[in-house]
Amino acid sequence: MEFNIKYINIYFPFNKFSFKVSGNVNGRDIVYEDLRQICIHKASADDWWAYALSFGKLCLEQGLDIKKCSNDVMDMVGIKKDDIELCVDNSFLDKNNQTYSDNQLLRVERELFIKKGVQAWPTLIINNVTFRVSFFFL
């Protein structure tokens, strides 16, 4: 069975993601983590599962620095950080000005959000049937 992860987002200019989410985590941190996870999933769905479970346990539950914790989890899982960073950097239309640049990966996610009419997160779509779900890390 093929399983595709989608990160549904609302469009804001990237520089507007400065709001605080929790502790030291802000919206920009969340967007970059979404991009890292999209790139990890594109590289290997199996690695994504291992990464997502470990990231949830180690980084989210303990409130650690997301970027540093993400790098630590990639090392632990055996993901090539440089490849993921390159994927994230290359997803920006203007690689020299990520703050104001549109992002190709997020644009695809945004278009799916609109097409599927998803209004809440997390949402699971199976055979074009939409379910609102709750994810808990084990």
Per-residue pLDDT reduced to its tens digit, 70-128? 999 999 999 999 999 999 999 998 877 777 678 889 888 888 777 877 766 566 677 77
pLDDT band at 15 (very low <50, low <70, confident <90, very high): very low
Residues in contact with 30: Cβ distance below 8 Å, sequence separation at least 6, in sequence order: 17, 21, 66
Q: Specify the pLDDT at position 70.
A: 94
Cβ-based neighbour number of residue 36 at 10 Å? 24
Greater confidence, 23 or 117? 117
Q: How far is the C-alpha of 135 from the C-alpha of 138, rounded, in Å?
A: 9
What predicted TM-score, i.e. pTM, was given to this entire model? 0.74
Greater confidence, 24 or 14? 24
Portion of the chain with pLDDT greater than 70, in percent = 68
pLDDT averaged over the chain?
A: 77
Q: How far is the C-alpha of 89 from the C-alpha of 134, rounded, in Å?
A: 31
Q: Specify the pLDDT at position 27.
A: 73
